[in-house]
Amino acid sequence: MLIQNFRQSLFRVDQVREIDAHAIRAGKIAGIELMRRAAFAAFSCLRKRWPQARRLTIVAGPGNNGGDAFLMAVLAKAEGLAVELVASSEQSRGDAETARGSWRDAGGSIRLAQVDAVLPSADVIVDGLFGTGISRAPAGIDALLIERMQQATGRRLSLDVPSGLDADTGFAPGVALKADATISFVAWKRGLFTADGMDCCGELELDTLAIPYSSYAGRDADARLLGIELFNQFPVRKRNVNKGCFGHVLVVGGESGMAGAPRLAAEASLRAGAGLVSVATRLAHVAPINASRPEIMAHGVDDPQMLDALIERASVLAVGPGLGVRGWGHALWDRAVHGGKPMVLDADGLNLLASHASPDMQISVITPHPGEAARLLGCDVAGIQKDRFASVRRLAEKFDCVAVLKGAGTLVADPRGQVALCPFGNPGMASAGMGDLLTGVIAGLLAQGMSPWDSACLGVLAHAVSGDRAAQGRPRGLLASDLLLPLRDCVNGAVACAHE
């Protein structure tokens, strides 16, 4: 993925180090100068966010992150702030030792971290312990320092990456700081936006340290962020059209007692703009669906053979919401996955896929949560969450389709390894029916002629932004159906216009 807008580009740690090295080598920017720029950016961030702060406790590790912290302490002291600096080691490495000397030259004192010591109270705690330099669980005095930064009174600002968080994966293998804000340097690290990164980073800010564009040019980002400007991709509809112009989605699901799942998916397809939407479900569910949303064409298919005619009339299938994995659900699933139509597969459709996959299936998009992803890849949920980027790429490659790995920082991947990450959404969306809604949105976009990749990316984005608009900062108690009206704003570009 060639960089066009690096502020939406996500990098691995090794890639950021290559950019650093290029800036030092080709741009002739000394390493200590980059450290000074990072310190200035961090101090400016602190003053902007907490202008009343007068007392700082700055925790510095032995590496470059600690060097940034030492130089930030110099700037804060020069501004008249009271600074207590706690170091995790007696010496620093490379340029960080020069930064440590600058703090001493400025008259600053260093308190060496002790097992039985508490951190001084402060208005702001600055975390300069690890940055990108850790992918293991912190141990010893380092783990204690993270715990004490977390327990200390005052706001918490992390430099580059909250200590204890793996910057590549977003996984915290042990104790990790939960910052109020994180200022990242040079480029976004991909782990800031998914998994534990969503809880650890607080508000995010990026400073590129005035590194020249030549140090980024020609480099492929590992992934990209989805932004609301993508809603402008929805074309303005012509006036001389009819419902047949916008596709026909068939939702297959709804075992006994599960009528709500296909009902939600079906209305989501309609709200996403599909022209026609049908549901193939248990006969007992037809009347309730017709009564609650008469625009949906509900069909009872207690005999699985009846599904064939419905598949023939449809342009896109959405298979799995409330389907079940017993005889009826398995029979419908088997006919659907061999029906020759573009298809979104979710929920029990994925559970059946995990044990009955075959090479002749035509799947466009799969939308597993971590538990379903673990079954599809034959591992446990912890294995999925340790590296969500690797997991979503394996899913897309294994099933030769676009894969959506749901969760905090939902990821979308295609079989070529392209990955997009959605930074929107909220914990209120961890509730029943949200996945059914997403399935319907993606199917509705597919039905309108979008590619599987665009349908998945725009569907995930619209789903997440609708969730944020519906929650309005009050996530507890959010219902899946609350997203249906905000969804209309998203697919009509109204959200993008409102943010311009």
**pLDDT category, 219, cuts 50, 70, 90?**
confident
For 394, half-sphere exposure in the C-beta direction (CA atoms, 13 angstrom radius) is 16
- Token pair for 109: 């004192």
Please report the pLDDT score of residue 4 as a whole number: 43
Higher-confidence residue of 360 and 375: namely: 375
Per-residue confidence band for 5, with pLDDT thresholds at 50, 70 and 90: low
pLDDT at 500: 41
Mean pLDDT, residues 373-393 taken together:
97
- Measured distance CA(440)–CA(442) in Å, rounded: 6
Position 218 scores a pLDDT of 80
pLDDT in tens, 287-308: 999 999 999 999 999 999 999 9
pLDDT number for residue 496: 57
pLDDT of residue 44: 98
The tens digit of pLDDT for each residue in 9-42 reads 999 999 999 999 999 998 889 999 999 999 999 9
- Give the percent of the chain with pLDDT over 90: 89
Give 110: exposed, middle or buried? Use CB within 10 Å, 0-12, 13-18, 19+: middle
pLDDT band at 236 (very low <50, low <70, confident <90, very high): confident
Confidence at 244, pLDDT banded by 50, 70, 90 = very high
pLDDT of residue 362: 87
Taking only the tens place, the pLDDT of each residue in 454-474 is: 999 999 999 999 999 999 999
Q: For strands 402-405 and 411-413, give the pairing.
A: antiparallel
pTM above 0.85, yes or no: yes
Query: What pLDDT does 359 receive?
Result: 83
